[in-house]
Amino acid sequence: MIARPERHTIGIVFISLLLVLWAVDTQASLYDRPKERIPLPSPIGYVSDHAQVVEQEWKDRIRSVCIDLEKKSGVEMVIVTVPSIKPYPSAKHYADALYEKWQIGSTQQEHGMMVLVAVQERQAAMALGRKMFPVITPTVRNEVSRDYLQPAIERGHFGEGLYRTAVALATPAQEVRLNTPSRPRIKGLGIWITLGTTIAVVLFFWRLSRPDLRHPYRRIQKGEYWGTGQGGFGGNWGGFGGGTSGEGYR
């Protein structure tokens, strides 16, 4: 009779603990839901106009700026518009999630920029790679937002505003250079290697055609041939006043 209340109490405590764990897990799931369960749009180019608020003329201009920037510096810049950022709390949270998903910027996403405009919330945000912070400073970001992004959102001139934003960001960003290791190169090295190889081959076959140059005696190497008869000494014998000749010497 005494043991039954103790078992009943233990059961209540156990059930209460399960309820607490379930509540914590539910709250964590709700907190992570925007990052894991809300589908994000896919990229459709340098100008991903998912809200369809940028005219084709401005798209072409923005795309030209982005291509030129990437060719000069390797920095990848993407301009994005979306109808809404819900259920993300701010455009900044949405931009960071999109930047990570799209993997913008080469070299482990360190050289990338994203400009995001949420039309319904009338918000704008930027996401930057780590190596971009020294050139796209808070001062630059504040000036771009104040002079181009916010006026464009208020007036509804998204194309022009985003184009001017792209130009304003590309100007300092083009000073960035990717730290890719480069091999030292000597100008015209291939020509000199080819020329040297050709000369070495010619000299090799020339020496093969002149066995005298490989003779151990220096006289032969100098071209003083013994010859096969006495006529080879004609010039030397003649130096004695012509008293004897090659034929008379027997």
Helix (H, G, I), strand (E, B) or coil at 194: helix
- Identify the helix (H) or strand (E) that includes residue 113: strand 112-118
Kindly report the backbone phi and psi dihedral angles of residue 85, in degrees, each rounded to the nearest multiple of 5, phi listed first: -105, 5
| Whole-number pLDDT of residue 243 | 42
Q: Report the C-alpha gap between 112 and 76 in whole angstroms.
A: 5
Look-up: residue for tokens 């999630």? Answer: 97
Q: How far is CA 215 from CA 67, 205, 218, 233, in A?
A: 69, 16, 8, 21
Give every CB contact of residue 115 below 8 A, 6+ residues apart in sequence: 77, 78, 79, 80, 124, 125, 126, 149, 162, 165, 166, 169
> pTM higher than 0.85 for the full model?
no
| Whole-number pLDDT of residue 237 | 38
Q: Report the C-alpha gap between 97 and 109 in whole angstroms.
A: 13
| Whole-number pLDDT of residue 191 | 73
Q: Report the C-alpha gap between 46 and 143 in whole angstroms.
A: 22
Contact indicator for 81, 53 with CB cutoff of 8 Å: yes
| Whole-number pLDDT of residue 39 | 86
Residue 132: Cβ within 10 Å count:
22
| Burial grade of 69 (CB within 10 A; 0-12, 13-18, 19 or more) | buried
Per-residue pLDDT of the chain (250 residues; tens, 9 = 90+): 444 555 555 555 556 555 545 554 545 444 444 444 578 999 999 999 999 999 999 999 999 999 999 999 999 999 999 999 999 999 999 999 999 999 998 656 789 999 999 999 999 999 999 999 999 999 999 999 999 999 999 999 999 999 999 999 999 999 887 654 444 444 456 676 777 788 887 777 767 666 555 555 454 445 444 444 444 433 443 443 444 344 443 3
